[in-house]
Amino acid sequence: MNKFIAYCGLDCEKCEARIATINNDDSLREKVAKEWSELNKVTITKEMINCTGCRIEGAKTPFCDNLCEIRKCARNKKVETCGDCNEFMQCDKVKKIIGNNV
């Protein structure tokens, strides 16, 4: 499986945080920090926008590294993605992600 597919199924290669990290693009980091701050109603700084990918070794945003319940659960269950989990269709953790992709 493509290692750039996150546990939840999102494509990390299309994530602007990853793109900013790979290209060392501070203006994109600022844009993402502003958007994510507004979206999540928390303060996110450009310094927090560093991520190589959910399932890839390397930098992670503070959310992905420490707060993402989906990532914690999948790593705990040792599944490659949530789609490999037999509880996937009724999982409250992934409902938001699934709902955004319908």
Q: Is the pLDDT of residue 102 over 60?
A: no
Please choose, from the candidates 56, 78, 45, the residue with its C-alpha nearest in 3D space to the C-alpha of residue 11.
Answer: 56
Centroid of chain to Cα 30: 17
Q: How many Cβ atoms sit within 10 Å of the Cβ of residue 54?
A: 25
pLDDT in tens, 42-99: 999 999 999 999 999 999 999 999 999 999 999 999 999 998 999 988 888 887 676 6
- Whole-prediction pTM: 0.83
pLDDT in tens, 2-31: 999 999 888 999 999 999 999 999 999 999
